[in-house]
Amino acid sequence: MDALWVSGEVANFTRSRQGHCYFTLKDDRAQLRCVLFARDAARLPTDPQEGMQLRVFGSLTLYE
């Protein structure tokens, strides 16, 4: 699947002991559960804060 840009508001941000970041990206019509793996999260200048507006680039994966 091709990568795409998505924007929305950060909700429920947590960082695991392994360094992976989990959060929900939402707007007024939908929400998307996201994971940012540790190697990429280490490059962030700061952790996203609750309510922060983000524009992210990535690919979608469905876990059944």
**pTM, entire model:** 0.84
Q: What is the CA radius of gyration of the chain?
A: 12
pLDDT tens digits along 15-63: 999 999 999 999 999 999 999 999 999 999 999 999 999 999 998 888 7
For residue 1, pLDDT beyond 70 = no
pLDDT tens digits along 26-39: 999 999 999 999 99
Can you give the pLDDT at residue 29?
Answer: 95
Residues forming beta bridges with residue 57, ordered by sequence position:
5
Average pLDDT, the chain: 93
